[in-house]
Amino acid sequence: MTDREKDIIAVVWNDLVLRKQLEDDPYSLSKNDLKLLELNDAFNKKLTEINDQLQASKRQQAIKAYLQ
């Protein structure tokens, strides 16, 4: 497995070890570790935005169906 593949896994699966290490000993994290946490935060934000859009769309469809 390449370093890039490991990074992708860490970003997608929210590396909880890094989060715990950030809380306990933030100065022990490498620049790459911090970047992974930043990318994970951006990934989670994007997922939340997509989910919110889907939920809004479902609500609109339900209202249209109800009004017809």
Res. 11 pLDDT band, cuts 50 70 90: confident
| Dihedral angle sign, alpha carbons of residues 26, 28, 31, 34 | negative
Say how far apart CA 62 and CA 68 lie, in whole Å.
Answer: 10
As a whole-number percent, the residues of the chain with pLDDT over 90 amount to 51
Torsion of CA 33, 35, 36, 40, to 10 degrees: 140
pLDDT bin (cut points 50, 70, 90) of residue 50 is: very high
Tally of domains within the chain: 1
Q: Which residues span the domain enclosing 30?
A: 3-67
Whole-number percent of the chain with pLDDT over 70: 100
